[in-house]
């Protein structure tokens, strides 16, 4: 089985980190193909960055479909472009935010999300409502760490995240922590051991879930809103993305 894991930003070091975390979580015999778009922002920090990351993300999903992968993982915690990707793909598509929330809800009565910057809180809270899990989330906290700062192990990013985890335990009465950024994928085990509670990485959770869907032989529903896009012309630089008949 081959799983495509797409980092929707264009930072290679983060893609490599995500790929290692995904492969470590995968079952024996599963091959992870970690990719990133050829165009888009270096990191996704808010709605503006998210909008410009979607075309490149969809190009990677289309390439994965053409290669016949068993499933796709979108490795941005905001679940960037998730609905559009499901319109494009027949294979299952799982977002890491969606996966982490569901896994946390299976393990704990209440969980707290620890993300990077405050500007990301609104998008995460909106997704929790959409997925029906807002009442299971005690709070969404921001460590005020820029996404690319997570690539610097010598900085204070881990300390800031750890501080928010301790606050979540004391103030939110959280039973589990969800790490709210794909750039935190390599920290879950370390933080769980340090704080004595489940710490969930969405990359690993999404890989396991998409593997399970593929093994069950399940495909993305195509009779409703995830039906393939209708053929039509797209203008300007988006012309290559125009849906084709058949």
Widest Cα–Cα separation across the chain:
56
* Phi, psi angle pair for 200, to nearest 5°: -105, 125
Write the DSSP symbol of residue 165. H
Architecture of domain 97-202: 3-Layer(aba) Sandwich (3.40)
Q: How far is CA 52 from CA 15, 43, 64, in A?
A: 18, 11, 20
Tell me how crowded residue 3 is: count the other CB atoms within 10 A of its CB.
Answer: 27
Q: Which CATH number fits domain 2-95+205-241: 3.40.50.620, 2.60.40.10, 3.40.50.300, 3.40.50.12500?
A: 3.40.50.12500
Rg (CA), the chain: 17
CB 73 within 8 A of CB 84: no
pLDDT at position 88 is 97
pLDDT at position 148 is 85
Q: How far apart are CA 88 and CA 84, in angstroms?
A: 6
pLDDT at position 144 is 95
Provide the sign of the torsion angle of the four alpha carbons 129, 131, 137, 143, taken in this order.
negative
pLDDT of the chain along its 246 residues, tens only? 999 999 999 999 999 999 999 999 999 999 999 999 999 999 999 999 999 999 999 999 999 999 999 999 999 999 999 999 999 999 999 999 999 999 999 999 999 999 999 999 999 999 999 999 999 999 999 999 999 888 877 779 999 999 999 999 999 999 999 999 999 999 999 999 999 999 999 999 999 999 999 999 999 999 999 999 999 999 999 999 999 876
Evaluate whether 2-95+205-241 and 97-202 have a shared fold: yes
Q: Residue 196 region, left (φ>0) first, then alpha (ψ -120 to 50), else beta?
A: left
pLDDT at position 80 is 96
pTM: 0.94
pLDDT at position 93 is 98
Q: Residue ranges of the domains in the chain?
A: 2-95+205-241, 97-202
Closest CA to 44 of 73, 9, 74: 9
pLDDT at position 244 is 86
């Amino acid at each position: 089985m081959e799983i495509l894991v797409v980092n929707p930003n264009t930072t290679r070091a983060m893609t490599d980190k995500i790929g290692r975390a995904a492969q470590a979580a995968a079952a024996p015999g599963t091959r992870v193909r970690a990719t990133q778009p050829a165009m888009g922002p270096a990191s996704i920090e808010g709605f503006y960055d998210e909008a410009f990351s979607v075309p490149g993300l969809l190009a990677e999903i289309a390439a994965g479909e053409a290669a016949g992968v068993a499933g796709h993982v979108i490795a941005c915690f905001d679940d960037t472009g998730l609905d559009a990707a499901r319109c494009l793909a027949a294979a299952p598509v799982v977002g890491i935010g969606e996966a982490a929330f569901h896994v946390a809800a299976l393990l704990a009565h209440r969980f707290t999300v620890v993300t990077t910057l405050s500007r990301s809180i609104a998008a995460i809270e909106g997704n929790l409502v959409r997925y029906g899990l807002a009442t299971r989330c005690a709070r969404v906290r921001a460590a005020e760490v820029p996404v690319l700062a997570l690539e610097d192990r010598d900085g204070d990013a881990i300390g800031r995240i750890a501080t928010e985890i301790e606050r979540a335990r004391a103030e939110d009465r959280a039973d589990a922590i969800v790490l709210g950024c794909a750039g935190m994928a390599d920290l879950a085990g370390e933080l769980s051991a340090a704080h004595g509670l489940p710490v969930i990485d969405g990359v690993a959770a999404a890989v396991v879930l998409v593997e399970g869907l593929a093994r069950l032989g399940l495909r993305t529903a195509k009779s409703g809103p995830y039906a393939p896009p209708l053929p039509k012309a797209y203008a300007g630089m988006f012309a290559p993305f125009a849906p084709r008949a058949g």
